[in-house]
Amino acid sequence: MHARAEYLIAVVALAAGLALGGEPRSCVLRVVDAPAVPLSGNARVDFSSLPGSGGSLQDAVGDASQASRKSPWLAAGLSIVLPGAGEFYSESYIKSGLFFAAEAALWALAYAWDHKGDKQTDFFQNYANAHWSVVAYAQYALANYAPANGNYQVIIPNTSGDPPWMRINWSELNRMEQDIGATANGSYYSHILPIYNTQQYYELIGKYPQFNQGWDDAPPSFSYGGTRSNEALYYDGQRGQANTYYTTASTFVGIAVINHVASAIDAALSAGSYNRGLHASVETLPVPNEAGGYTAVPALHLAWGF
């Protein structure tokens, strides 16, 4: 069972008094019972259709009720795109501001942590370029683990002055790694090294003991399965820190997605609440005056449903 209530309150200053610039001579307070038909929800149409203001409430209610209602589907769609937009459409302005502020804060935090991850990535990659040598790694493998008949041409001749990654024949290096992995003593050679400056390159050299002998502080000989060099351990920790930063950034992005969904649900509910809620506007009402005519006076129009 639904009902609507409506009140109209007008405080009238006599036209003559206003014209003379004096104080109003009298005030009128009017309370008008609502018609026995549902209000449209459009305050302007409802008010202008009251008795004495011209027009018919019954004629206006059909179109106006549809024009003034808020669509929950539209509200939800707006907030899916931009949190807070659906609440703004539903005239729930405080919640609109809160959802939008949360959206801005979440994306700002995601950007900040992603930027920290980028800076940390630059740091650990520069550290690896300065302290890990693919030439030292390849030479140790050639001297200690490569099959004797492999005839591996891993080091490019006449390149001693070039950076380590430019001195390596990568296809030959990978062939040697595969052959070592197939020997009885090569169980720790479980990976082939990707080409320089790729994400996998920087991951593998800090993650697996196979690559320990490429670090500056590597001992002359190394027992695989033992403790890796201090530089390797430090590097692996710095790389892990970059991953933590990126994970944090991804977490804030995930929360931002949740904010979109939560705002969409709330916007749909807010639209429904608006359609049932209080509506108010200030209009004019013709009131009889002392001269036998009518004076237009301010009137507050309130309507709500429950």
Among residues of the chain, what percentage have pLDDT more than 70?
73
**Residue 42 belongs to some domain of the structure:** yes
pLDDT at 299: 66
- Check whether 25 has a pLDDT greater than 60: no
Contact indicator for 90, 75 with CB cutoff of 8 Å: yes
CB burial of residue 185 (10 Å; 0-12, 13-18, 19+): exposed
**Residue 198 belongs to some domain of the structure:** yes
Contact indicator for 83, 267 with CB cutoff of 8 Å: no
CB burial of residue 275 (10 Å; 0-12, 13-18, 19+): middle
pLDDT at 71: 94
Question: Where among 194, 214, 234 does a domain terminate?
Answer: 214
Q: Which two tokens stand for residue 287?
A: 């009131």
pLDDT tens, residue by residue, 150-172: 899 999 999 989 999 999 999 99
Question: Where among 180, 214, 248 does a domain terminate?
Answer: 214
Rg (CA), the chain: 39
Domains held by the chain: number: 2
**Residue 80 belongs to some domain of the structure:** no
**Residue 220 belongs to some domain of the structure:** no
Q: How far apart are CA 206 and CA 215, in angstroms?
A: 10
**Residue 280 belongs to some domain of the structure:** yes
pLDDT tens, residue by residue, 26-60: 333 344 444 444 445 554 444 455 444 444 444 44
CB burial of residue 98 (10 Å; 0-12, 13-18, 19+): middle
Q: How far apart are CA 153 and CA 142, in angstroms?
A: 10
Alpha-carbon dihedral of residues 121, 124, 129, 133, nearest 10 degrees?
-130
pLDDT tens, residue by residue, 74-90: 999 999 999 999 999 99
Q: How far apart are CA 14 and CA 5, in angstroms?
A: 29
**Residue 84 belongs to some domain of the structure:** no
Q: How far apart are CA 224 and CA 142, in angstroms?
A: 16
**Residue 247 belongs to some domain of the structure:** no
pTM above 0.75, yes or no: no
> Which segments of the chain are extended strands (E)?
4-10, 279-288, 294-305
Domain, as residue range, for 33: 4-70+276-305
For 238, the enclosing helix (H) or strand (E) is helix 230-276
**Residue 75 belongs to some domain of the structure:** no
Question: Where among 214, 231, 264 does a domain terminate?
Answer: 214
Q: For the sheet containing 294-305, what is the strand order?
A: 4-10, 294-305, 279-288
Contact indicator for 148, 168 with CB cutoff of 8 Å: no
CA 144 to mean position of chain CA atoms? 53
Q: How far apart are CA 127 and CA 109, in angstroms?
A: 27
